[in-house]
Amino acid sequence: MDNILSVLVFFPAIAGLLGFVVDKGSARVYGISVATVELLLALWLWMSFDTANAGMQYVELIPLVPDFGINYYVGVDGISLFIVVMTALMTLLGMIGMSIEKEIKNMIISLLFLEMTMIGVFVALDAIVFYLFWELSLVPMLYIIGAWGGPLRIYASVKFFLYTFTGSLIMLVGMLFMAYLYNSVSGVWSFSLTDWYALVLPENYQIWLFLAFFAGFAIKVPMFPFHTWLPYAHGQAPTIGSVILAAVLLKMGTYGFVRFSLPLFPDASVMMIWPISVLAIIMVIYTAMVAYAQEDIKQVIAYSSVSHMGIIILGTFAMNAEGISGSIFLMLSHGIVSGALFMLVGVIYDRRHTKLMSEFGGLAAVMPKYAVIFGFMLMASVGLPLTIGFVGEFLVLLGFYEISPIGAILGGTTIIIGAIYMLTVYKRTFFGPVTNEKNKTLPDLNGKELTALVPLVAIVIWLGVYPKPVLGPIDTSVKALISFMHEKARSDIAKDTITLSKSVKEAK
Amino acid sequence: MLLDLILLAPFAAALVGGLLYLYDPQARREKIYSIIALTPVLLGAVLSLVIGWSFIFGETTHIESTLFEWLHVGDLRIALTLSVDRLSMVMLFFVTFVGALIHIYSAGYMSGDSGYGKFFAYLNLFMASMLLLILADNPVIMFIGWELVGLCSYLLIGFYYREEAAIPAANKAFIVNRIGDFVFIMGVALLFVTVGVNGFGFTAIEASITKIDTAMLSLIGLLLFVGAMGKSAQIPLYVWLPDAMAGPTPVSALIHAATMVTAGVYMVARFDFLYSRIPGVGEFIAVIGIASALLAAVIASYQSDIKKILAYSTVSQLGYMFAAVGVGAYSAGLFHVFTHAFFKALLFLGAGAIIIALSHEQNIFRMGGLRKDSRLLYYTMLIATFSIAGIPPFAGFFSKDAILVSLLSTGHYTLWSLATFGVFLTSYYMFRLFFAVFHARSYGFRVLKPLPLTMTVPLVVLAVGTATLGLLGVGGTFGNFLGLADIHAEADHTIEYLLAIFNLFVVAAGAGLAYRLFAQEAEPPNEESRVRRLLVHKFYIDEIYGYVFVKPLYFIASFTGNLIDHKVLGRMILLGVEGYRRAGEGFGKLQNGRVRFYTLYMLVGISYISYYLLSILGGI
């Protein structure tokens, strides 16, 4: 199966097309079966992945527009591998836990198309292919929010679309300019990332290109102050939309930084460490504060998810193996934990059609299983050791410590503030006496919900206790990335900042 | 193998018990739960005795066992390695031993509670976490245990989650601990950045400690100590411990008195190689310790709730331990950790028995005259009170004496005199409690509930321990065994004996005062004078923290959340959209459907083009 990646990308899309002829009653089963096969394929990819090899594997290259050097070019390395697996997993579990009955067939088809675009983004090695999938992912999500969302769904979905679209257009300009530069140096057109990697640019070009890409990635993440679209989108999106948005779509932005910004523009990345870190630290503290002020549980989770994305950015710009590997691991753990938390909010919303904390209280007695799973995810979210949340956060802070201890300490305050607002949510929702009559008879998690949530709990513990199987391949590829950036950097300051690990140094 | 079993058995039991409870929370299976929970803990106690035997009578000085490599990223390589040296062996011994007794006691105490299974799952998880903390061979794994015991503390304080006081207390404990933990992990990170490249186990760090300059080392030492302030409830982070008494009493005994709260002292002793190089930070630790000891003792003297008094006395005794390790007398500090575990567990279990027997009465001024009702409680509590006050031959006398000697012999005269005043206060508030509960005039008629055997046997065993274990310290046996990097300051034996006799007088003075005031008619402290009100209200520290930290934080949060994010940032982005719309409206006005206007546009266009053409042609 050398073309496993193409199968992974296009299988859901083809299955989605076929979905139009599936009977409405069996659409859900159909979707779950497709997503299961997709997950099995992704797991097969992981199992057969050569963990010792830091480079791209399962590479496929089919020329699309040879005159302009545009190819269908895909591949996977330790950095993208687990994000692909996580995407397949969260799509499946999101589908299983989904409570939507209305237009279920359209929902399943949208989700399958969305899955194609997401996996496409993470395996693309050609800028145009990357851009295509990147923009295409907006369409199903726009539809999911616009068709199944809350009362303000149209406003929210249009805002989501326009906002991210503006950013990615600027990114597209950057891509075209990059190809133009490549052409002016080598005489041929190419949009292939591996060709671009070889291009050493002067610093002033690097800065402008970095900023163009930054516009696309930063809005997607979303970084402060471009985050205002996200709470709206989450507030109006149906549960499944929020799960996919938080778990996977946001990761496109942070993944873009690692795949494009760092290796293409190492000097600019080092120059931009401070502006970006300051934004990231503001983002961490600011959104944590905003989260503390929310009354709506889903909004707390939405803002806390933004806050944790700030830590991922900090790790990416730590320029050492601990920080970058940590931030990639944190992308995975953030995907799993925030995905699960949004599912959990969905559970209570399905039962009571409200997400306000003040409507609840004492749920621990009424819904013990729900309370325990929520508690697990809460602890993972605040980064308790032996849950998945601790590993990434710890590595990122450790890595950023080498850039700036003060920065790490400021970013690390999330450890405290995160605990404050999450425990407040838990206190007001689950503890105390049951004050609201309507809550006295709420049913606990049903089989469907348990099937979706229990695997996530298992992963949260497994990767918290034993993160090595995932961290190992990530670290191998990250070390290669850092060595590459170190080689490529032109300025001395960049070479100093991009820190090689001791083992890598010794090998040289 | 032994070590793995000691650690993993309680983890497994917590998992099994917890799942069983979750499967059907309503089911009554107290027997099954207690078997699941007690087996690993008893096994742990036995195994640690075996290990202890091989340390004391055999040649063993170190046992190690690696479970797996936890992570290897960049230069950071952390293995889940368990190791026992003499220091951790002592900790291991009393944690498993006292832990086992408290588990047995809990089986009786919690009987009939609907959350029985949950309680034991949490308790097992706590044992496992505490053991991980003790057995860790590097700071990162230690931190894992360090945070997990905080989690268990949170879960168990909030155990009675329907009660009003429980959850705020649990949140307070978790958050205050988190503040300490955060600073602690920053210290660990700093340590890693400076020397971690060459391996990050305690022995590797010790080997490369000389490479760090003193300023950096002091910073690391301070950061780590702030973590200890949180976990071991020292000024200014002690505020969570008194509130933590909202949890079930066995929890107060195990976690909030005997084991978890001593983790900070253990950590400092574990890093003895680090702290012995930075005596300046040590002084700071000792000052914080003595200040906490005195403050808590003063507050304890004015409380009425039996558990609150014991909680403040825990803060106070921990202060003594920190004073000792701060001045470099690590083994004296550890010895007090060891004896304290026994007598404080005994005090709490005794208090729990009293509370149960009196149908959940916690006010000592509503007890009175219990001496006649229960001989067993009377004598066990008497032994414990003697011990904490420092009366020979009970355990507390020897350990507290060792601390006072070390303060004096290292030349810390001010600290020593303050500590001696603390001894007076300790004796006063403990005998105040004792006389008020057992001697004072009985408070009305009552029938005591009978206590089950599971509760009385642990009391007796702990009482025997409290009565005898102090002898381990005679002639420095305990300290020599530990072999920590103690400061060398030998005091003259004559001075030592004189000091011991002097201390006895101090203790007698405190006890005598308490006898005069509380043995006949015990009255709760009145709030007539301003000073007294200040004392009864614990110097209003909680209220001050509320105004200085909690309220401003909430204010900032609602300011950013409701104003900045919605009204400022949200609007700013919309301004761009608004500008676009306005421009559209403006241009729209041009296209208004009136021929007059269109003719005008044509005229302007034609004129401009004509002008342009003419200028090119050179006409003008």
CA-nearest of B216, B225, B220, B335 to B283 is B225
Please indicate if any CB of chain A lies within 8 Å of the CB of B27. Answer: no
**HSE-up (13 A, CA, CB side) for residue B83:** 19
Select from A293, A320, A415 the Cβ nearest to the Cβ of B178: A415
Provide the pLDDT confidence category of residue B324 given band limits of 50, 70 and 90: very high
- Contact assignment for B560 to A405 by CB distance below 8 Å: no
Q: With beta carbons less than 8 A apart as the criterion, state whether A244 and A346 touch.
A: no
- Under the banding of pLDDT at 50, 70 and 90, the label for residue B416 is very high
Pick the range with the lowest mean pLDDT from B36-50, B144-158, B353-367, B379-393.
B353-367
The kind and range of the H/E element at A208 are helix A203-220
- pTM comes to 0.93
Average pLDDT over residues B590-604: 86
Chain A residues with CB-CB distance to B223 below 8 A = none
Sequential DSSP letters for B377-402: HHHHHHHHHHHHHT-TTSHHHHHHHH
3-state secondary structure B312-327: HHHHHHHHHHHHHHHC
Judged against a pLDDT cut of 70, whether residue B542 lies above it is answered with yes
How far is the C-alpha of B380 from the C-alpha of B368, rounded, in Å?
Answer: 17
Asked whether the beta carbons of residue B557 and residue A289 sit closer than 8 angstroms, the reply is yes
Confidence of residue B496 (pLDDT cuts 50, 70, 90): confident
In this structure, the number of other CB atoms found within 10 A of the CB of residue A303 comes to 26
pLDDT tier at B529, thresholds 50, 70, 90: confident
For B346-378, how does the pLDDT look when each residue is reduced to its tens digit (9 = 90+)?
Answer: 999 999 998 888 888 888 888 877 888 888 889
B348: which 2 tokens? Answer: 């709490």
Q: What percent of chain B has pLDDT over 90?
A: 52
**Tokens found for residue B198:** 């060459």
Buried b / exposed e over B256-265, threshold 16 CB at 10 Å, is bbbbbbbbbb
User: Which pLDDT does position A91 carry in this prediction?
Assistant: 96
Mean pLDDT (chain B) is 89
pLDDT bracket for residue A99 (50, 70, 90): confident
Cross-chain residue pair B569–A364, CB shorter than 8 Å: no
Nearest 5°: the CA angle B427, B501, B514 is: 20
Long-range pairs for B204-207 at CB < 8 Å and ≥24 separation?
A: B205/B139, B205/B273, B205/B274, B206/B273
Q: Which of A164, A366, A420 to mutate to test the interface with B (most CBs of B within 10 A)?
A: A420
Interface touch A415/B558, C-beta < 8 Å: no
**Quick one: closest CA in B to A428, which residue?**
B167
B33 CB neighbour count, 10 Å cutoff: 24
In sequence order, the 6+-apart residues with CB closer than 8 A to the CB of A129 are A70, A71, A72, A73, A74, A120
R_g of chain B computed on alpha carbons:
32
Report pLDDT for B211. 87
**Of residues B413, B598, B411, B427, the one with CA closest to residue B503:** B427
How many angstroms separate the first and last alpha carbons of chain B?
Answer: 104
Residue B620 pLDDT greater than 60, yes or no: no
Does A412 sit within 8 Å of B185, measured CB to CB? yes
Q: Note whether B189 contacts A: Cβ–Cβ < 8 A.
A: yes
Q: Chain A 239-298, CB below 8 Å of chain B: which residues?
A: 286, 289-294
Span A167-180, mean pLDDT? 94
> Alpha-carbon distance B264 to B224, whole Å?
9
Residues within 8 A of B (CB atoms), A 345-364 only: 362, 364
| Residue pair B418/B294 in contact by the 8 Å Cβ criterion | yes
Is the pLDDT at B528 greater than 80? The verdict is no
For residue B326, pLDDT over 90 is answered with yes
Bridging pattern class, strands B76-84 and B63-73:
antiparallel
What is the tens place of the pLDDT at every residue in B264-274? Answer: 999 999 999 99
Contact B61, B89 (CB under 8 A): no
First to last CA, chain A: 35
pLDDT at B445: 61
Q: Which residue has the tokens 């490599």?
A: B69
Cβ–Cβ of B190/A405 closer than 8 Å?
Answer: yes
Residue the block writes with tokens 């690390």: A412
pLDDT at position B480 over 90:
no
Check CB contact under 8 Å for B168 and A468: no
Cβ separation A466–B178 shorter than 8 A: no
Measured at the CA of B268, the angle between CA B259 and CA B340, to 5 degrees, comes to 35
Strands (E), B479-572: none
Q: Is the ipTM of this complex over 0.90?
A: yes
Q: What is the mean pLDDT of residues A443-456?
A: 93
Residues 6+ apart with CB under 8 A from A443: A351, A367
Give the orientation angle of helix A468-488 with respect to helix A321-352, to 10 degrees.
130
pLDDT digit string (tens) for A113-132? 999 999 999 999 999 999 99
Cβ atoms A389, A464 nearer than 8 A:
yes
CA dist., res. A406 & res. A12, Å (int): 46
Query: How sure is the predictor about B533, in pLDDT bands with cuts at 50, 70 and 90?
Result: confident
Q: Are A244 and A91 in contact (CB under 8 A)?
A: yes
Would you state the pLDDT for residue B120?
94
Average pLDDT over residues A15-29: 91
Residue B495, pLDDT score: 83
- Judged by CB atoms closer than 8 Å, whether chains meet at B182 and A405 is answered as no
Tell me how many degrees the CA angle B285-B290-B295 measures, rounded to the nearest 5. Answer: 125
- pLDDT for B619 equals 60
Q: By the CB < 8 Å criterion, does A461 face chain B?
A: no
Check residue A333 and give its pLDDT: 95
pLDDT tens figures, A213-229: 999 999 998 898 888 88
Of B171, B192, B572, the CB nearest to A427: B171
pLDDT at B444 over 80: no
Tally A–B CB contacts below 8 A: 145
Distance, in Å, from the CA atom of B255 to the CA atom of A28, rounded to the nearest integer, reads 50
* Dist CA B620 CA B608 (whole Å): 14
The predicted structure's pLDDT at residue B368: 77
Judge: A416–B147 Cβ closer than 8 Å, yes or no: no
| A281-295: pLDDT as tens digits | 999 999 999 999 999
Nearest residue in A to B179, CA atom: A416
Mean pLDDT of chain A: 92
Cα B322 from chain centroid (whole Å): 14
Q: Residue B600 to residues B3, B587, B605, B609: CA-CA distances in angstroms?
A: 96, 16, 9, 14
Residue given tokens 């070009």 in the structure block: A205
Kindly state whether A502 is in contact with chain B, defined as any CB-CB distance less than 8 angstroms. Answer: yes
pLDDT, residue B80, reads 92
At B557 the pLDDT is: 87
Quickly list H helices, B549-591.
Answer: 551-558, 570-590
Residue written as token pair 């005195």: B294
In A26-137, where does DSSP find H-type helix? 27-48, 78-97, 104-123, 127-136
For residue B136, list its beta bridge partners. Answer: B82
